Structure 1
């Protein structure tokens, strides 16, 4: 009987020991899973762009663009091409930025200004001409030069939106470091810097909300 009690006690202690080890392993496994989820969430929040697995670069902004009845549809196409170009610069993708600069030249050339007042037409024509020039330079330049032209291009697109309006809420963001201060437009509040890309991705602040 004494042997049976001793054996039972040993078995009970072994069971408790195994149970404790299993809980510890399960806790570690949960911690690892939680850590992976946190990293995945951080990566998802790290960018306002989708990742193109085919070429390893970022492209279109996650937020879908809406087109309102009162806004110029062609102007929204221009904005879409502009945001795609911005995303390519954020991703340090010179080849993609060249391609999107050329696409922006085309969309700007089709911007219909007929419904605006004479004063607005004149202003829009000047904006379009200047923006097309900078977009064309971007389509042929190394990335450092692309970013120089993107600064003025961003001003042109902002001036265009002031006249055409937009169906989307936009955010004017500002980097104090690049070329004594440079602005750009985004569809999201999160700052992803197109002037420095991966070097200083988060450099900048939201200066204004445009509706």
Structure 2
């Protein structure tokens, strides 16, 4: 009887161990799938960068130099914390170049008057658009274009409604949706 109890206990332990191993394998497989889908749809770090970028855009739309400078500072931090490790070597190299350039422009925005902020925002917008082409985004974005500012300038928005960051209140609705990014 003692041997039978020991055998049953041993079988239970083996069953529990095997079940735990199966659950762990399922979890690891699920995490791998999640990482794969993240690459297609944009990851959390990309979304943080976009949030900071849109905060900056909105500050420029509102002609608010101080808020634009604060958003530029936040964007610098978001860009510097971006994790490129889940991308291919070529993508990592491209992302490194984009992030370095975007960081430099964000730093200038954090330290400049509004006219100079808008000049840097033009190039920053190109950098962020290039980044999204690699990382993707969870949201539908609209690339908008103003033909008047500096021989034509684009920016990204979460809305189809035109709110021009290059002219702010003086030409708020100047521009058009150039492309939808999904």
Residue 171 of structure 1 is matched in structure 2 by 142
User: What's the Cα RMSD here?
Assistant: 0.9
Match of 1:133 among 104, 108, 115: 104
Residue 208 of structure 1 is matched in structure 2 by 179
Residue 33 of structure 2 is matched in structure 1 by none
Q: How does 1:38-187 map to 2 (within 5 A)?
A: 69=38, 70-187=41-158
Matched, 1:190 2:149: no
Displacement of 1:166 in angstroms is 0.3
Name structure 2 gaps, 5 residues minimum.
1-36
Displacement of 1:208 in angstroms is 0.2
Residue by residue over 1:158-180, the C-alpha shift from the partner in whole angstroms, topping out at 9 and shown as x without a partner, is 00000000000000000000000
Displacement of 1:209 in angstroms is 0.2
Larger Rg, first or second structure (1 or 2): 1
Displacement of 1:71 in angstroms is 2.2
SS in 2 for 1:167: coil
Q: TM-score, normalised by structure 2?
A: 0.78
Name structure 1 gaps, 5 residues minimum.
1-67
SS in 2 for 1:183: strand
Q: Distance in 1 between matches of 2:136 and 2:85?
A: 15
Displacement of 1:72 in angstroms is 1.2
Residue 55 of structure 1 is matched in structure 2 by none
Greater relative contact order, per chain length (Cα 8 Å cut-off, separation 6+): 2
Q: Distance in 1 between matches of 2:149 and 2:56?
A: 18
Residue 64 of structure 1 is matched in structure 2 by none
Indicate the structure with greater helix content.
2
